Amino acid sequence: MIDWKITERGFYPEKIAFNGNKFLIANGYMGVRGTLEEFTKDQLVAVNMAGLYDQVGNGWRESVNAPNGFFTYLIVDEEICRLPECEPSEHSVSLDYRNGIFSRKTTWKTPRGSLTVESERFVSLAQPHLALMKYKISSNFHADIELITGIDADVWDINGPHYSNMELFEEDGLIKAIGTTSEKGHKICVTENCSINLPSEKRLSIKDKKILRHFCFILRPEHDCVIEKWISVCTSNDTENYEQKAASLINDYMKSGYKYVKNSHIEKWEERWKVSEVFIEGHKEAMEALNYSIYHLISVAPRHSKSLSIPARGLSGQVYKGAVFWDTEMFMLDFFLYTDPQVARTLIKYRIDTLDGAIRKARYYGYDGAFYAWESQETGDDACSDYNVVDVFTKRPVRTYFKDKQIHISSAIVRGIMRYIEITGDKTILDEGGAETIIECAKFYYSLLLKRLNRNVYELHDVVGPDEYHERVNNNGYTNRMAKYTFDMAVEVLSSVKNLEPETAKRLKNKYKVSQLIKSFTDASKHIYIPQPDKNGIIEQFDGYMKLEDASLEEVRSRLLDEKEYWGGANGVASHTRIIKQADVVTWLAMFPDDFPHEILLANWRYYEPRTEHGSSLSACMYGLLACRCGMPEKALPFFMKSARADLEGTGKEWAGLIYIGGTHPAAAGGAYMTAVNGFGGIYFEEEKLKAKPQLPPNWQKLRFNIYYKGKLHRVEVDQKGGVSVTREP
């Protein structure tokens, strides 16, 4: 058994940013970084909102952070008592990731005695607009206390400020902060009320973008002070009556009581864990790390919406502009397909509903079809800029090609749709725009195909594959293979038009020349160039890759003149070598292991792994998956642990120059889950049945998990000897 709690003892200012990610609480609607109640924007406090974006001037467009309704600190005997200004004698923070509850305990020594603060807070999984906190103060002396609590609207922004106006006021006992975003005038309303168990003098202040309640009282050793805070967050995207809704939520749930709301929250978490929990017998650390990863995936799932996706950094802040990447479809989707198909449908619907943005992007670059955004926001338009890296020596922006050359994103969308249909059996997604999405993605790749006069194959030139260190290459193997897959899926959909809903069939026939597209896409799939293994069984990642310098990873790293240098691009230390950022050919082989015999998979794993820097949290899981496909679960285990512990260890990059790039890694969490279930568990689907060929690492005696397949929940248990038990739940 695991204890479901992570704790850090002691206060270390250098860990503030990382702990904000490690101890994150979220409910899909909003994410609250694991910072302390007294912290401000200087400590990267954020209440990050799902699906709400803003742009100021020419700055990067990014997600919006709401005012912080948890803000609380103390003045004791007329001295401010809060971190980081006042050093504690004891301090600890904890996350109960079974129940999504963050807590802290801090003791300060004053000239007259010791004072301790204990708090717990959560964002409700039962009511997504609601957040609660209980804050207890105790002392061993008669302390003169001023407790200050309220809403801090001086919001941390990376590319802000995002509020053109902020109203702070009190009304009917509630305090409110209503912000208006700069670009589109969205309204974000944070409303707060609180109760206190001791008699006190009370007053209200509005200053420095904060609206605060002040409670003054004498705290005696025999009577602890307890306040309960009730916070609601509503926006004009939710309802026209956002202010009234925020107020009614506070008033209604305060009548129910703190304990009732907390228990309802815990019950919702238990509902999720009954399906999502994974049991590993024989490796407690692995089970803890995997379930902690699952906690983060559950936390950021947009259950409040029918069409929304998950940003690359979850809801841990504005990093990567709060945008949605291919991470969702390629690395997170399987978890939701297996444990929460409705959320999986929501993620897929987001891509279908933002098809117009992908079509606009394709038109902008002169292509046909749908070119999905590398960094997608609410409309599907690309938030990625052409200059994403700053040269550490010249301090000038460097032209990058993430936005315009990473064409493989569209194929990830197609894979997501078809994977959804495969696992759920729900083909209605095709009637709701899924069919058009697949066809438009195929049209996009078809418009990119090139044919040399002396070769009878189609090629894709001037692309960036998953390995971003080598830009503008020709015939990236992964990209070409995924384009072929897209053509095949489009042919499958077009060939079965008659089996779709009559209205859908009519719409597709009116919109497309079905027979002509089938012919074109079939020809494209047959003739697109797919790199083949050489005499040693190695697949060249792209044209000319084998002509690059074959330097070791250590040698390339030694060439850095500054630790913050970008390894890729025109002048990067890796760009003229065979060192790659992350799994590329290996991702192809992990996705399509039946493309080649076992010995080819193994040869490429062995070749590319020592040449991979793993400069992305997406990389390790693909090496873990392919190692399992190659019958090497013992070699897959370190990659699994690297993915599962991505948000526990803090080994990722937190800063790029002066830009904060830290945050949670839900794709790594999803990758860890895929490695465990698809890799070690050996899950596959054949003849409409769920099957398994397990390959457990040493010391893993049993692995048990649940999977939804075709609408039915199955319990799967595999063991070290290869035994498999699949039981369908009633």
Which are the catalytic amino acids?
A: 468
> 386 near 400, Cβ under 8 Å?
yes
Alpha helices in 383-529 (DSSP H): 402-405, 409-424, 428-429, 435-448, 477-495, 502-511, 514-527
Judge contact between 688 and 709, C-beta under 8 A.
no
Q: How many CB atoms lie within 10 A of CB 510?
A: 7
CB 448 within 8 A of CB 407: yes
Please state, in angstroms and rounded to a whole number, the distance separating the CA atoms of residues 418 and 422. 6
Integer Cα distance of 707 and 700 in angstroms: 20
How many Å apart are CA 707 and CA 506, to the nearest integer? 36
Per the structure block, which two tokens stand in for 468? Answer: 């971003």
Q: Give me the sign of the Cα torsion angle 69, 70, 75, 76.
A: positive
DSSP state of 330: I
Q: For the packed helices 355-364 and 435-448, what is the interaxial angle rounded to 10 degrees?
A: 10
Neighbour tally for 550: CB within 10 Å: 11
Q: What angle do CA 592, 714, 724 make, to 5 degrees?
A: 70
Per-residue DSSP letter, 474: S
Element holding 270 (H helix, E strand): helix 258-276
Q: What is the Cα Rg of the chain in Å?
A: 27
Q: Which of 109, 56, 65 is closest to 87 using CA atoms? A: 109
Q: Is 509 helix (H, G, I), strand (E, B) or coil?
A: helix
In this structure, the strands spanning 143-152 and 712-719 are unpaired
What totals of helices (H) and strands (E) does the chain contain, helices first? 22, 30
Look at residues 422, 430, 424 and name the one whose alpha carbon lies nearest to residue 339: 424
* CA 200 – CA 197 distance, rounded (Å): 9
- The residue count for the chain: 730
8 A C-beta contact, residue 275 and residue 341: no
Host H or E run for residue 710: none
User: Do residues 680 and 628 make contact, with C-beta atoms less than 8 angstroms apart?
Assistant: yes
The arrangement of strands across the sheet holding 210-219 comes to 79-81, 72-76, 143-152, 210-219, 201-207
Q: How far is CA 315 from CA 34, 323, 328, 665, in A?
A: 12, 10, 13, 10
CA atoms of 367 and 376, how far apart (whole Å): 18
DSSP character for 581? Answer: S
Whether 585 and 467 have beta carbons less than 8 Å apart is answered as no
DSSP 434: I
Supply 30's token pair: 């909003």
In angstroms, the CA 135 to CA 141 distance is: 19
Distance (Å, whole) CA 287 – CA 672: 11
Give which of 135, 146, 157 is closest to 40, Cα–Cα.
157
| Interatomic CA distance for residues 338 and 694, integer angstroms | 17
Considering only CA atoms, which of 540, 610, 533 is closest in space to residue 579?
610
